[in-house]
Structure 1
């Protein structure tokens, strides 16, 4: 990805900020938006009292809280904003095992917000589980809608010989993925702008995706899945991925499904698509009830629950 000099300098400053936080032993587990809101609504949480409050909980802070060199680093990275007499970071840093990942600050209202949260941890576990049991070698892999790049980074570290592509339509996601890869010392990940698999060549031995799956009235890129109840993007990924899998290649799709009267529409759709001897596949609920607060939103009047699911498809050959 070609950067202009100003953006390149800002990204380098953000990378150095991540290195500083990691060296200082910073860690933060990113929670759901609802849990984040409840924590920040407490009286004692109105203003940051430490660095973790600033970069994990996205709380405003007094300039005197931050060491002068760290404050300067924030300014150089162009991730500092003012909240009256206080300041705030426009990025968060979250931990996944020994990875430290930059992503958008809470709340993620911006249309180009880069999301990381509980879904990311579950997605990572799906990939870890697959890689531990995979028999064939991964030479070419892709993370569709990479966001922070967590899928691509996990694969690239496990298969250091592999060529791993991280694809997203959001330029900010590609920037953050590149920074996260550099911070982790991973050099076999390349970022590419694109809508799903358009614009990159295949076939692929491993395709992973953790797409948005909500019905979002604002149609924010990181959250809106399209269709009647957020399922359209997941179905598009399945269709495109099946066309690009190599022999013995695998698709890992982690997503969410709106369950209506006990019916899983995604499962019904993929069951029809995967009928026949060409595919071996499995589908399981990882968590039967996620983002329950979404049921109060328009369009979800008949939805019983939202389930987190994982689809694994392998081309026989």
Structure 2
């Protein structure tokens, strides 16, 4: 067994232990997390939620020597001076538990999980409740922690569900999360969108980054003038991969300007004609308002969350 495989087994064991101890943590926005920590002069973890949810530093007394050594050997925690800190975070989604990157997510290969994830999961569940056609093959593009893939796999045991991401760390954590959830019909692949996988799909879902991030961190930066480029690319490259009757569900954010919705304007030429039926609606008109203070957002009035569903007409 390789070192990475041992580390993944340790993550899986930790996740199972947290589930068994009734651990539960709902992950807020980064701004809310920051404000919560500001309540403490020097945040110091008192329990597992503080360690693996709020990403607080902790002393060695919080774990036994054996447990501390095992966590360190697996790369789950790291030492900083006299204190320790988890490099991963565990978030609850209903009865499920997902491992992803600890707060703050500063590294380019960070695997993000937050309020968008909860809304994305709900959008998928709503679609699955309305769709009665069989799903033989599905894919979660830019899977991150694998939430989309796991939700589909749980609801459609007969489906072959792929989870693809350009970030190797995301692929690794998705595999851990899928196994922890007992969804053995999920397979995680390294891929730039759908470039490394073949064939058609009955369902394609995606929750891509949509910020205009000046550091161009992969988990945040959507590209283009206002963070819309990756979402447009996903639509363009997904439509030809839909089976007849197959559906694309894209959850993303749009930087709205006075002239209107630039993402919708870019979509309309791709969806013209009789080959596709589609719906498009805002699910939240105003998120991440603090981003408007950053360079590049001078012309933006608000950032809205939208859900696009496109079905290939048989």
TM-score tier by shorter-chain length is: over 0.9
Q: Secondary structure at the match of 1:273?
A: coil
Cα–Cα, structure 1 residues 220 and 145, in superposed 2: closer, same or farther, change >3 Å? same
Asked if residue 121 in structure 1 is aligned to residue 118 in structure 2, the reply is yes
Kindly state the Cα deviation for residue 265 of structure 1 after the two structures are TM-superposed.
Answer: 0.7
Query: Gaps (5+ residues) in structure 1?
Result: none
For 2:145, the equivalent position in structure 1 comes to 148
For 2:245, the equivalent position in structure 1 comes to 248
Q: Secondary structure at the match of 1:206?
A: strand
For 1:81, the equivalent position in structure 2 comes to 78
Asked if residue 176 in structure 1 is aligned to residue 166 in structure 2, the reply is no
Asked if residue 160 in structure 1 is aligned to residue 172 in structure 2, the reply is no
- RMSD over aligned CA atoms reads 1.1
Asked if residue 21 in structure 1 is aligned to residue 12 in structure 2, the reply is no
Q: Secondary structure at the match of 2:280?
A: strand
- Moved beyond 6 Å, runs of 4+: none
Alignment of 1:1-317 (within 5 A): 5-43=2-40, 46-261=43-258, 263-317=260-314
Query: Deviation digits for residues 18-70 of structure 1, max 9, x if unmatched?
Result: 11111111000001000000001112661111110000000000110223443
> How does the TM-score come out when normalised to structure 1?
0.97
Q: Is the 8 A contact 1:141 1:162 kept in 2?
A: yes
Cα–Cα, structure 1 residues 195 and 264, in superposed 2: closer, same or farther, change >3 Å? same
CA distance in 2, matches of 1:225, 1:77: 32
Kindly state the Cα deviation for residue 71 of structure 1 after the two structures are TM-superposed.
Answer: 2.0
Q: Secondary structure at the match of 2:187?
A: strand
Query: Gaps (5+ residues) in structure 2?
Result: none
Query: Deviation digits for residues 233-264 of structure 1, max 9, x if unmatched?
Result: 00000001101000000000000000011511
